A = this chain, B = another copy of it.
Amino acid sequence: MPSYAVTLLSGGLDSTTVAVQALQETGNLSAITFHYGQSHSKEVDCAQEIAGVLGIQHQLLDISFLGQVAWYSALTNPDRFPVPEDRSIDRMGASIPITYVPLRNTIFLSLAAAYLESQVLYALEIDGVSPKEVAALIYMAPNAIDYSGYPDCRPEYFQKMTEALAYGSKLWTEYQIPIQVKTPIIELSKMEIVKLGLRLKAPLELTWSCYQGGAVPCGSCDSCLLRAKGFEEAGVSDPALTRFRDG
């Protein structure tokens, strides 16, 4: 069964683990990295290096305009909408926090699906691959712990988006091939993601989770703390710390 797969690769622990799983499951993977306000070049550099190590095609897309479109967010406009000092409101789950980026995953999935559909249509219509049993898959790494409360990280959202991608695509309308969205770590804890990454032999030493763009992870931001806790609970040391600290 010929598979075509695209994975969203940020350069972090989660998306790198998912990329390796996608590669092993499909044998035919390319990656997209979105560069925008939130991300720094350190993260993008890591994504490129990881794609190189995995030997997969890599498409880097500059979508810096995201801050003009999805502008009401602490991630795209931190100066205008800072994260409150007292984040207890966010953490009680009473309300979707200001770090929510309007429709971000819908934008990301649309772009990834267009890239995937282009590849599969080319295979069918130019290379002459038979549409029978072709699978078209998007992998991404939303996670319940990182994204608690975000509407576009819930399984019911992905179900609705999958239907929209089918109805809006030639792949489904003409060839009855659905664009499937795979979110393999959506229910895992950080400790379970670490263990999965190690089991899959993902290059975790190349991944970058720190919100800062320094030479080494800061060790004190939320993302560094969450990552450290995951490795600690998994009972292993973080290979990226060794690598980045020792150069």
Majority-rule SS of A interface residues: helix
Query: Cβ of B95 and Cβ of A174 under 8 Å apart?
Result: yes
CB interface residues, A 135-179, toward B, < 8 Å: 151-152, 154, 156-157, 160-161, 163-170, 172-174
Q: Please give, as numbers and ranges, the residues of chain B lying within 8 Å of A237 by CB-CB distance.
A: none
Q: How far, in angstroms, from A70 to B120 measured CA to CA in the complex?
A: 11
Q: Do B164 and A157 touch across chains, with their CB atoms under 8 A apart?
A: yes
Complex Cα spacing A32 to B70, Å = 13
**What copy number does this chain have within its complex?**
2
A63 closest partner in B (C-beta) = B65
Are A100 and B170 interface neighbours, CB within 8 A?
A: yes
A103 to B70, CA, bound (A): 20
A residues 89-121 near B (Cβ < 8 Å) are 95-96, 100-107, 110-111, 113-115, 117-119, 121
A43 to B38, CA, bound (A): 32
Give A241 Cβ to nearest chain B Cβ, in Å. Answer: 35
Check if A61 is an interface residue, CB within 8 A of chain B. Answer: yes
* Shortest distance between the CB of A112 and any CB in chain B (Å): 8
Q: Which 6 A-B pairs have the closest CB atoms?
A: A72-B118, A151-B173, A70-B114, A152-B168, A102-B117, A164-B164
